[in-house]
Structure 1
Amino acid sequence: MKFVKFELKDRVGYVILNRPEKRNALNAEFVEELKTTFRNAEKDTSVKVIVIKANGDAFCAGADLGYLKTLQTNSYEENLADSTALMELFQLIYSLKKVVIAQVEGHAIAGGCGLATVCDFVFAVPEVKFGYTEVKIGFIPAIVSLFLLRKIGEAKSKELLLSGHLIDSSVAHKFGLVNYISPLVEIDEKVFIFAQKLCLENSSQSMEMTKKLISNAQHLSISDGLKLAAAENAKARETEDCKKGIAAFLNKEKIKW
């Protein structure tokens, strides 16, 4: 990989953005490398939880503006293919079978903020800024808007997407965009401890099924959503993890996940 590194530590897979000289700005090759890395990590049985972080001063500055400029001579079909690749990356992370944690130690701007948005959990240091600044350069935050609406609702999404304002971690936390704030000297350990708790205390099957239920239930009516929930409840009872978990609980044994 040219722009992405992958490391494994005690069942925690680290996807590391590694284009620091360009503030980890995204281009077509970078997006494809990220898609490949996440797909490989999803299939890797030695990985239970995934953390996305970055080398350099920025988490991700969004799209590489030099790359965007070259796209201005493209046809609509060529631009659609390019934007579809980013859509596929965001959708892949959002719907991945494994939990994904964003560890944000530098500014997350535009598409970079989108990368954090689609993760299941976001840890950030107090000093970083978040923002969807596309409207300031005549662009639109199209793909991330669907995920942000789900995450924080219409009012807060409009406030961020239409203003293009940068917000710090404390405001992002109040908005529901960030889950935990940690000092830079502690964030590595805090993220690892959190990821390890998920690895040791939670069933992989249960987390996968819960993520899928959360994703699929939101567009349904109450009636249809409850039917889906009841069906998933029934399916969960038949899984090996559920049988193992209940047996361990009844026998007062510690569950080893």
Structure 2
Amino acid sequence: MENLVLYRVEERIATITLNRPEKRNALNPQLILELTEKFIHASEDDAVKVIVLNANGGSFSAGADLEYLQQLQQNTFEENVIDSNNLKKLFTTIYYLPKIVIAQVEGHAIAGGCGLATICDIIFATPESSFGYTEVKIGFVPAIVSCFLKQKVNETIAKELLLTGKTFTAQEALEYKLINYVTNSAEINRSVKEFALRLCGGSSGNSLMITKQLINQTTNPLLEKSLEFAVQINARVRESEDFKKGIASFLNKEKINW
């Protein structure tokens, strides 16, 4: 079976690549597990100073895949807590990683895929890319990512994005200060590599690590408590009638009348 996540190192840059293009790099438990393992490996790899997260195919990540959503309807509360904790572990692994993580977003970054991009330290995107925390549209909540988003954008923007579930462009994401750069698709590989190489050659690895820790821990001192609450919310909402109705309508491609 082909690896869901690819890993390579070149010039002190580790590239971690989502490799489920036939599913638009949709998230499932195995992909989440493999991603977490690759990031932990990169953090311990002495040949690596900076990490780039990208994806094969036309989408960065379209969120949870259909089989995964179907399974969630059958899960017990305890199983949903475990599943939510796995996503929390992936996000916190990236957030607390002692190395800088650059997201290279090309195509859709939706729901969990948008969350994955959000937690990276620096985000590049192409003009054609689109973003969206669309969970509320199917009776779900963007619980875990909300703990990170509200530290990146102001409360007004965070509420608009999370409550409406709207999709938005890379240019809008730049204006919201959610991402750092919008770069043409023909140039994004070069731009990301040049940025990563500047960090590799121009900054102390120890200083990068400590500065990242300083920023994260002083801007979000209550993160762990918030995440514990978010995991419980995630599991509880999955038992709600609105969630069951929303997922059923989504899977059947039916319009949902809330």
TM-score, with normalisation over the residues of structure 2? 0.84
- How many Å separate the matches in 1 of 2:135 and 2:221? 31
**1:68 Cα shift?**
1.6
After superposition, what is the alpha-carbon deviation per residue over 1:148-168, rounded to whole angstroms, capped at 9, x for unaligned? Answer: 001112111101000111110
Bigger shift: residues 121-130 or 62-71: 62-71
Secondary structure of the 1:195 match is: helix
Secondary structure of the 2:198 match is: helix
Secondary structure of the 2:109 match is: strand
- Aligned equivalent of 2:251: none
Q: Does the alignment pair 1:67 with 2:40?
A: no
Change (3 A) 1:219 1:112: closer
- Aligned equivalent of 1:140: 141
- Aligned equivalent of 1:86: 87
Q: Which runs of 5 or more residues in structure 1 are unaligned?
A: 222-257
**1:216 Cα shift?**
1.2
Secondary structure of the 1:72 match is: helix
Contact (CA 8 Å) 2:111, 2:134: kept in 1 or not? yes
Aligned counterparts, 1:1-257, within 5 A = 2-219=3-220
After superposition, what is the alpha-carbon deviation per residue over 1:133-188, rounded to whole angstroms, capped at 9, x for unaligned? Answer: 01111111110000000111211110100011111011000001110011000000
Rg larger for = 1
Q: Which runs of 5 or more residues in structure 2 are unaligned?
A: 223-258
Aligned length: 221
**1:199 Cα shift?**
0.1
Secondary structure of the 1:63 match is: coil
- Aligned equivalent of 1:246: none
- How many Å separate the matches in 2 of 1:220 and 1:137? 31
TM-score, with normalisation over the residues of structure 1? 0.84
Contact (CA 8 Å) 2:17, 2:54: kept in 1 or not? yes
- How many Å separate the matches in 2 of 1:17 and 1:90? 15
**1:220 Cα shift?**
5.8
- Opposite residue 22 of structure 1, the aligned amino acid is K
**1:219 Cα shift?**
4.6
Which 4+ stretches in 1 moved above 6 angstroms? none
- How many Å separate the matches in 1 of 2:176 and 2:14? 28
After superposition, what is the alpha-carbon deviation per residue over 1:167-212, rounded to whole angstroms, capped at 9, x for unaligned? Answer: 1011000001110011000000000000000000000000100111
Superposed CA RMSD in Å reads 1.2
